[in-house]
Structure 1
Amino acid sequence: METPQYWVRADLSTAERIRAFEATPLAARGLPDSTYAFLARSCRQAPQATAIRYLRDPSCRDAPEDVSFGRLLERIHQTANLVRGEGLGADDVVSLLLPNTPQAQYALWGGQAAAVVNPINWMLEAEAIAAIVRAAGARMLMAYGGDPEIEIWDKVLRVAELCPQLQTIVRLGGDRGGAAPAGARFLDYDAVIDGYRGDALDFERDFRPGDLASLFPTGGTTGAPKLVRHSHWNEVVSAWLSAAVAGIVEGESRLSATPLYHVVGAFAGSLATLARGGTLVLATSVGWKHPQLLPQIWKVVEACRVNYLTIVPTIMNQLVQMPIGGHDISCVKGVLSGSAPLSENVARRFLAMTGLAVREGYGLTETTSVCMMNPKGGEVKTGSVGLLFPYHRARVVALDRRAGARDCAPGESGVLALSGPTVFSSYAAGGQEGFLEPGWLDTGDLARIDEDGYLWITGRTKDLIIRSGHNIDPKAVEEAFYRHPQVLEAAVVARPDSYAGEVPVAYVQLVAGADIDAARLLDEVRPAISERAAVPKDCYLMAGLPKSPVGKILKNRLREDATLRGFDKALRAAGIESGYTLTLEPGEPVRIRLDGAQPDAQRVRDALASFTTAYLIVTADPASV
């Protein structure tokens, strides 16, 4: 079977060559209409080749579990037929509570062949998982049984209690000893799957590119769930372009330790690799969460002959502390980074250590996955997120409440807006929330475009610190900390201030064995910060910065902590040193609970007179407020 015409080895190394590639319209590329057809073609082309290599233990003592492309397609068929056999149709939803295992791949792609999938972060609490399941309207839940690294089944039992609309719950791999959930039909995947047809789908489905394929949660772990609608076309184009720009081809391998409930793990990591005919290396069920994967990563790379590595910035921060030793990593052809900004200093240290330039990219759940990247064979600009993928467009705009949006001049920083075939249509709730104007996604990020067409993310609109009317970019300040040899990770956020409105403060995790205090660290970093106003007022040392499940530093948590510190500082400066308790819930005003007659509410208001951050004073006697 010949390689499909849409798999071309194109030179996408410059913006000009990308425009030349676009001379062929996207509609003329012959891309399949569904992720099922996209994967089925690659599986049938080389059925004996290895599609998935799964390592249960990063020590590599045991042989990995290899899954051929022929076996992958068989399991996709069987899983899709199971879903349809339970009465679900093309518009029904299957929620997935699955880690990085081969069975999760069967569920992700088999589920899309039959219905709509809804991958969920299995690290959330049961109540948060249940809220997403309800918001998605799922009728089926496929969940992992658990292993020594994942305790999950008790959550499944609780979700079953909270979601009576679930008709079927399927245990997909892992520990099979957990109790059957009450109130729903229960299936053990391993016990029943071979009873379903594996050579084809046993139902008719006329796929259309615009058919809904998945509902991916976004927007954090608090508040009402926000579900991003991905069509089959979104996912196919995203994976196709990810493979083309990354440069992976058939027979090459890519290690993906990013969770499958994250779009990078699902599409840029998994679908792009498999559909291109490459081998997907899954390193343990929990990926980077496994305590031994990072210390053993060079052994894994050597043993599995990994050609491409996808590494999130917080992992890269730790990786540069770990020497390669005697391991042979000459097999590595590319190192890709995304999901959060990468420190330029860390990227340079990695280059010096390995000889490999880190090709940083950028994307959102709302763009299906990565939609720009530093090019293969072109200039890698450290600190940039590279060139836009073909068939995409970007605008950098200045937003004015009176005049509306104005396109920025080249090199000028503004709000990044994106348009293209991987941009989602809407959230599950409907409407045009998230769009600057029809067809143009408001990313919420600040960016600039240089003379070569490379994009540079300069911050988040909500991360910008405004000190006495002066805009401070926290990324530039963080880079000064990353250059210090005793700093592992750093984040700079705004703290409310009575005089300046906001001031920058730094949260820092030191490297193991560091011998420095916060005051000395701030003194040593100060000369590297180019403007006086940007120097943090305080530096807080932490054992570890709060992170999302994919390793992104949670600045919202740090902002909440800094807000409480700012209120406490202002009250103490006014002589109010006791008699109050400060709390802050996401999306709510700061609550100031007065514990007695002193201090009185008016004195507190006077102390916070210049604060613009919303707050609420609570007393035992509401009439006294």
Structure 2
Amino acid sequence: MAAAAAPSAQAWPPRHPPLAAPFPVRSRADIERLAATPLAESLPARSTYELIRNAALAFGDKTALTFLRDGNPDTPPLRWTYAELLARMHQTANALHALGLGPTDTVAALLPGCLDYHLAHWGGQAACIVQPLNPLLTEDKLVALLQATGAKALIAYGAPEDADYWAKALRLQARLPGLRHVLRVAPHDEAPADAPALPPGALHFHEALAAQPGDRLLSGRAIAAGDVAACFHTGGTTGAPKLALHTHGNQVFTAWASVVTQGTNSADVGIAGFPLFHVAGVLPGALASLSAGAEIVIPTTLLMRNREVVRNYWKLVERYRPTVLAAVPTMLAALANVPLNGADISSITYCRTGAAPLPAELGARFERLFGLHVHESFGMTEMAGISSVTPRGVHAPAGCVGFVPPHAQVRIVALDAQGGASAREVAPGETGMVLFKSPNVFPGYLDPRDTAKAFTPDGWLATGDLGRLDEQGLLHLAGRAKDLIIRGGHNIDPGMLEDALGAHPAVQTCAAVGAPDAYAGELPVLFATLRPGAEATEAELLAFASARVDEPPARPKWVAVLPALPTTNVGKIYKPELRQMAAVAVVRQTVAGQGADVGSVRIEPEGATDVAVHLGAGWTDAAREALRAALAPLPVKVHLRDG
């Protein structure tokens, strides 16, 4: 792509300083001190475009983005300055404007970790609404998502990688008449002469940008805080993903809250640890950094799924001197198996995690091995990625996710009979469902029916998470309400079981779920993976965990060791699949209890929650009915099939 012209100082939007923390946050009093200043005074920017533009005007020649071609620390990277990033953002917005997309139209992004993701996202939001897509979703789900938003353009990566991006993009276009334009992003080192010929309706992304000026927005658009900036899908591993709308104001507040609570500044460098289609990677991760003049290192297109990156991670730290280490707990567990081998990691001054609970033993192991205390944060798609933050210098125990940001409100309420949010607030220090009101609470889902379920009648966002506030104003999470294991009316916190088993020296990761039981409703069970080279029997692990759980009803009934736990594409352990695996195990045990040869019966999940039992030849009507009667009391739907 031809070099872009340097950005000019347009009359609009007004120029403001980049985001910065006025003082370190160490207590709830500091949060209240920040909240004493009106938000409009602390945060005059109205759009994500303004935030990055302000930083680019202040830090023009400073590196904004560094892309690693591979996981070898000696391979020369690609770098963009803030001035280059802004110029290319202008060109991206102008190219989309030239294609006829306006503020209420949608452009989708089907991209791996790459420099151009930041153009598609931030340049796209300056022109229209951006729809980030998880590239590992099935094509049918991607079609449904694109149909729901009526996306008119799709920016897709032009190399197969591990998700077959470009071929998938062309198939999506063939299925969606309204998807008028598909723009191919060339791989970073592709020579222009190697670019393939494109079919009708497809454009070369970089050629489209090169035809546009890089010093201004040709649309002249004045972006309002209430304008929709993006549409993120939530869930999507099973069932139909919901589409959450974000306004520019939502995302701007998240960036500001992240910067002022964490003390992010222009000296910071971070290695991107979260996918960019996920709110954690794109908002508290990328936008907050870019708003404060920090540098983001993108560790190859596969990010932290690149095994070479993980294997060389501490060498990469020594080479690029990041000040911040951010990753999901499963990735921290993988890094805990990578020896330092003398690497200098003293540049890291802040280590944080989110997207899933941090096992206490993992946090202790990370601190023991590397001298890094892991700070937890809490975020939701419905809150533009940040709900609470544990600042630098605040060393809290596992499960503590820090302070709620300035200008945000939190309530803890008791659960109702259906496990939802009641109107009754719990006593201070007690656990209940966490509710929020905040400038970054989203306006709703694309489907109003989904929106109605997300809020309480008096307008609070019902998170579905259980938590408590301590005397210092710190929020502690106790898991998802739907993840509670309910044994005969006795509520069992899965985190307690996970902490018990996670303390075993052979255990890498573990997760507790409820297995269906005919009498108790659910019984607690555990799934685990072992550290490389470690050995332990399931009986040994069961005894170890049971000895560390005081309440007899909460002690696990069994432990299963797996090669790997199912995870989402963000790296969060996916408990619905584990619950289904537990149901299959219980059904198998029930079938065996009928004297049947389980080897001759095929038992497998069916749909998202049911179990299918395929019976072979030789089953008499009487045996079939006896089995049906044995399975009927289980609180799971079981389908008997022939063959």
Q: TM-score, normalised by structure 1?
A: 0.94
Are 2:53 and 1:40 aligned? Answer: yes
> SS of the counterpart of 1:229?
strand
Aligned residues: 619
Given that 2:18 and 2:58 are in contact with CA atoms closer than 8 Å, whether structure 1 keeps it comes out as: no
Are 2:641 and 1:610 aligned? Answer: no
Q: Which residue of 1 aligns with 2:499?
A: 479
Q: Tell me whether 393-402 or 596-605 shows the greater mean CA deviation.
A: 596-605
Q: Which residue of 2 aligns with 1:623?
A: none
Deviation at 1:618, TM superposition (A): 5.0
Deviation at 1:455, TM superposition (A): 1.3
Given that 1:153 and 1:178 are in contact with CA atoms closer than 8 Å, whether structure 2 keeps it comes out as: no
Are 2:376 and 1:360 aligned? Answer: yes
Mapped to 2, the partners of 1:575 and 1:393 lie a distance apart of 58
Are 2:33 and 1:17 aligned? Answer: no
Q: Which residue of 301, 305, 316 corresponds with 1:300?
A: 316
Are 2:484 and 1:461 aligned? Answer: no
Q: Which residue of 415, 420, 435 corresponds with 1:399?
A: 415
Q: Which residue of 605, 609, 619 corresponds with 1:584?
A: 605
Q: Counterpart amino acid of 1:425?
A: P
Mapped to 1, the partners of 2:607 and 2:69 lie a distance apart of 37
Mapped to 1, the partners of 2:538 and 2:603 lie a distance apart of 24
> SS of the counterpart of 2:553?
helix
Aligned pairs (5 A) from 1:240-259:
240-259=256-275
Deviations 1:562-598 (A, max 9, x none): 1111122223223344575444334454344555553
Aligned pairs (5 A) from 1:164-563:
164-174=177-187, 185-401=201-417, 404-430=422-448, 431-563=451-583
Mapped to 1, the partners of 2:44 and 2:20 lie a distance apart of 9
Given that 1:255 and 1:282 are in contact with CA atoms closer than 8 Å, whether structure 2 keeps it comes out as: yes
> SS of the counterpart of 2:307?
coil
Given that 1:52 and 1:67 are in contact with CA atoms closer than 8 Å, whether structure 2 keeps it comes out as: yes
Deviation at 1:446, TM superposition (A): 1.2
Q: Counterpart amino acid of 1:15?
A: R
Deviation at 1:221, TM superposition (A): 2.3
Mapped to 2, the partners of 1:432 and 1:10 lie a distance apart of 39
Change (3 A) 1:401 1:347: closer
Mapped to 1, the partners of 2:140 and 2:487 lie a distance apart of 39
Mapped to 2, the partners of 1:617 and 1:383 lie a distance apart of 42
Deviation at 1:178, TM superposition (A): 8.1
- Where structure 1 has 5 or more consecutive residues not aligned to the other structure, the ranges are 621-625
Q: Which residue of 2 aligns with 1:29?
A: 42
Change (3 A) 1:179 1:486: same
Mapped to 1, the partners of 2:266 and 2:630 lie a distance apart of 66
Change (3 A) 1:247 1:547: same
Q: Which residue of 162, 172, 176 corresponds with 1:159?
A: 172
Deviation at 1:599, TM superposition (A): 5.1
Mapped to 2, the partners of 1:328 and 1:114 lie a distance apart of 43
Deviation at 1:112, TM superposition (A): 0.3
Q: Tell me whether 252-261 or 170-179 shows the greater mean CA deviation.
A: 170-179
Deviations 1:504-563 (A, max 9, x none): 111111111122221122223332222222222121111111111111111111111111
Change (3 A) 1:599 1:458: farther
Given that 1:362 and 1:385 are in contact with CA atoms closer than 8 Å, whether structure 2 keeps it comes out as: yes
Q: Tell me whether 610-619 or 72-81 shows the greater mean CA deviation.
A: 610-619
Q: Counterpart amino acid of 1:504?
A: P
Given that 1:374 and 1:381 are in contact with CA atoms closer than 8 Å, whether structure 2 keeps it comes out as: no
Q: Tell me whether 591-600 or 492-501 shows the greater mean CA deviation.
A: 591-600
Mapped to 2, the partners of 1:491 and 1:545 lie a distance apart of 8
Given that 2:21 and 2:261 are in contact with CA atoms closer than 8 Å, whether structure 1 keeps it comes out as: no
Given that 1:14 and 1:375 are in contact with CA atoms closer than 8 Å, whether structure 2 keeps it comes out as: no
- Where structure 2 has 5 or more consecutive residues not aligned to the other structure, the ranges are 1-8, 10-14
Q: TM-score, normalised by structure 2?
A: 0.92
Q: Which residue of 2 aligns with 1:598?
A: 620
Deviation at 1:457, TM superposition (A): 1.1
> SS of the counterpart of 2:378?
strand
Change (3 A) 1:612 1:382: closer
Deviations 1:19-73 (A, max 9, x none): 1211112122242111111111111112111111111112122211110011000
> SS of the counterpart of 1:332?
coil
Deviations 1:259-279 (A, max 9, x none): 110001101111100111111
Deviation at 1:318, TM superposition (A): 1.8
Q: Counterpart amino acid of 2:280?
A: V
> SS of the counterpart of 2:439?
coil
Q: Tell me whether 345-354 or 226-235 shows the greater mean CA deviation.
A: 345-354
Q: Which residue of 135, 143, 158 corresponds with 2:148?
A: 135
Given that 1:490 and 1:509 are in contact with CA atoms closer than 8 Å, whether structure 2 keeps it comes out as: yes
Q: Counterpart amino acid of 1:84?
A: H
Q: Tell me whether 224-233 or 589-598 shows the greater mean CA deviation.
A: 589-598
Q: Counterpart amino acid of 1:598?
A: T
Q: Which residue of 1 aligns with 2:77?
A: 64
Deviation at 1:467, TM superposition (A): 1.8
Deviation at 1:100, TM superposition (A): 1.4
Q: Tell me whether 544-553 or 436-445 shows the greater mean CA deviation.
A: 436-445
Q: Which residue of 1 aligns with 2:6?
A: none
Mapped to 2, the partners of 1:594 and 1:326 lie a distance apart of 58
Q: Counterpart amino acid of 2:434?
A: L
Q: Which residue of 1 aligns with 2:106?
A: 93
Q: Counterpart amino acid of 2:504?
A: H
Mapped to 2, the partners of 1:451 and 1:359 lie a distance apart of 19
Mapped to 1, the partners of 2:559 and 2:576 lie a distance apart of 17
Mapped to 2, the partners of 1:448 and 1:30 lie a distance apart of 29
Mapped to 2, the partners of 1:222 and 1:515 lie a distance apart of 33
**Alignment RMSD:** 2.2
Given that 2:311 and 2:338 are in contact with CA atoms closer than 8 Å, whether structure 1 keeps it comes out as: yes
Mapped to 2, the partners of 1:471 and 1:207 lie a distance apart of 48
Change (3 A) 1:6 1:327: closer
Given that 1:257 and 1:286 are in contact with CA atoms closer than 8 Å, whether structure 2 keeps it comes out as: no
Deviations 1:123-145 (A, max 9, x none): 22322222211122101000011
Given that 1:34 and 1:233 are in contact with CA atoms closer than 8 Å, whether structure 2 keeps it comes out as: yes
Q: Tell me whether 1-10 or 434-443 shows the greater mean CA deviation.
A: 1-10
Mapped to 2, the partners of 1:246 and 1:582 lie a distance apart of 49
Change (3 A) 1:438 1:306: same
Deviation at 1:385, TM superposition (A): 0.9
Deviation at 1:207, TM superposition (A): 1.3
> SS of the counterpart of 1:370?
coil
Deviation at 1:165, TM superposition (A): 1.3
> SS of the counterpart of 2:310?
coil
Once the two structures are aligned, what percentage of the paired residues are identical? 35
Deviations 1:131-187 (A, max 9, x none): 2111221010000112655532221222122222110000113268686675x5211
Mapped to 1, the partners of 2:478 and 2:172 lie a distance apart of 40
Given that 1:426 and 1:433 are in contact with CA atoms closer than 8 Å, whether structure 2 keeps it comes out as: no
Q: Which residue of 2 aligns with 1:124?
A: 137
Q: Counterpart amino acid of 1:359?
A: H
Q: Counterpart amino acid of 2:416?
A: D
